[in-house]
Structures are given as structure tokens and as C-alpha cells.
């Protein structure tokens, strides 16, 4: 049985923090795992910025409610799910992602959780586990799935390496340069073709 694991942000939906940075006029919030591979360091940086600017979960959720999937993402995912088992592995948070999941026909999503205080200000975040994308792929392999994985950033590369086949989707040049072992796709047509090629090799 073949299983496709996809990252969420940058693959199916826009980068939430980048959109939020644009709408709040706080460019420092646009920093993502494309720029900072240490996720704990990145999240601490984000929470400190939100506290400084007195922005809470409702402010972020309002931005997300006005977002939507990337152009073509829903059709791509619907077609992919007709031929493969698909699971979204993301380092986002359920509190951010669920409105977007509804717009994508509710695929299975593994991600993390946020903690807010009574006033809606974010005070902490809780990772499901360290390196959850890589660990999930390892467990799927142990269950005898043949895993094909696709993502766009530093935090996807361990997942891609653990899969039977890993694919980069529209990555920044620095990720392409550092991980030349992964094929690069730049649109959904190319990504689907690469997934099908990887599946045919198994």
C-alpha cells in the first residue's frame, strides 16, 4: 500500500505567518522554517513578537479565515486522494489549520497544538513530539506502507529522507542547494507526475 505524506504550508496553503505579517505590517513575523531551521527557536521568536505587539489567537484566526488554499490545491488533493492514501504532516497548529482543512475537504492532518490564556494571547505551544514528520514516516514504514513524501522547507527534509521517495515542491534556492538529492517540482502537475513516477518504481 502506498501512502503520500504532504506538508501543508507552502504546498497546499499559503504560509500562514507570512500572510499574518503582511496584514499586520510586522515584517519580522514573516520568518519561517525556510529561513530558520531550528523550529523551537523560531516559535519562541514568534511568541515574543506577538506578546510585544499585543496580538492574540483571535487576530491570527481572523487572517486565516480570509485565506484559502493555494490555487489548484483542492483539485490536486482531491485527485491525489482518489489514487493514494494521503496524510498531511505539518508543523502548524490545529487552531490555525482547521478552517483551511474544511476548504480542502478535510484530509487527515497531524500537527501540533497552541496554548492561549483567558484573553486569547498565546502563551505556549505543544509539539506532538520532536521531529514528528520524520517519526510519523518511520512508523508508516513499519506498518508496511511505501511512503512518498513532499514538502518545501528545511523542516520537511528529514521526512523526505525517511520516505521511500522524497520530493521538494517549489522550494527556495537555499533548500535546493543544500539538498540536491531530492527532485524539485514547481507546480502541481509536476508534483503529481513525480509522485506517480515514484510510485511506479516501488
pLDDT value at position 178?
95
pLDDT tens, position by position, 46-63: 999 999 999 988 888 888
Question: In angstroms, rounded to a whole number, what is the distance separating the alpha carbons of residues 43 and 68?
Answer: 23
Q: Is 9 a catalytic residue?
A: yes
Domains annotated for the chain, with CATH where assigned, are 2-13+72-112+129-200 (3.40.50.1000)
- Residues of the chain under the 70 pLDDT cut: 34
Strand 85-93 with 165-169, pairing:
unpaired
pLDDT value at position 65?
79
pLDDT value at position 34?
66
Contacts of 104 (CB under 8 A, 6+ apart): 12, 13, 69, 73, 74, 77
pLDDT tens, position by position, 37-50: 787 888 899 999 99
Q: What long-range pairs does 102-106 form, CB within 8 A, spacing at least 24?
A: 103/68, 103/69, 103/74, 104/12, 104/13, 104/69, 104/73, 104/74, 104/77, 105/74, 105/77, 105/78, 105/81
Question: In angstroms, rounded to a whole number, what is the distance separating the alpha carbons of residues 47 and 31?
Answer: 12
Question: In angstroms, rounded to a whole number, what is the distance separating the alpha carbons of residues 38 and 35?
Answer: 9
pTM listed for this prediction: 0.88
pLDDT tens, position by position, 87-105: 999 989 999 898 899 899 9
Q: Which of 9, 15, 95, 194 is catalytic?
A: 9
pLDDT value at position 108?
97
pLDDT value at position 35?
77
Amino acid at each position: 500500500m502506498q501512502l503520500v505524506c504532504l506538508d501543508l504550508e507552502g504546498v497546499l496553503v499559503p504560509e500562514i505567518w507570512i500572510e499574518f505579517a503582511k496584514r499586520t505590517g510586522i515584517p519580522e513575523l514573516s520568518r519561517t522554517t525556510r529561513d530558520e531551521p531550528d523550529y523551537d527557536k523560531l516559535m519562541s521568536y514568534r511568541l515574543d513578537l506577538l506578546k510585544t505587539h499585543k496580538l492574540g489567537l483571535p487576530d491570527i484566526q481572523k487572517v486565516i479565515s480570509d485565506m484559502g488554499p493555494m490555487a489548484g490545491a483542492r483539485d490536486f488533493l482531491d485527485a491525489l486522494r482518489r489514487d493514494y492514501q494521503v496524510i498531511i504532516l505539518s508543523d502548524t497548529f490545529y487552531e490555525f489549520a482547521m478552517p483551511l482543512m474544511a476548504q480542502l475537504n478535510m484530509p487527515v492532518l497531524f500537527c501540533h497544538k497552541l496554548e492561549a490564556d483567558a484573553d486569547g494571547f498565546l502563551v505556549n505551544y505543544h509539539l506532538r513530539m520532536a521531529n514528528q514528520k520524520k517519526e510519523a514516516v518511520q512508523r508508516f514504514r513499519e506498518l508496511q506502507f511505501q511512503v512518498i513524501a513532499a514538502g518545501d522547507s528545511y523542516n520537511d527534509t528529514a521526512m523526505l529522507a525517511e520516505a521511500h521517495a522524497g520530493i521538494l515542491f517549489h522550494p527556495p534556492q537555499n533548500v535546493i542547494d543544500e539538498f540536491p538529492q531530492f527532485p524539485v517540482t514547481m507546480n502541481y502537475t509536476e508534483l503529481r507526475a513525480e509522485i506517480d513516477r515514484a510510485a511506479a518504481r516501488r
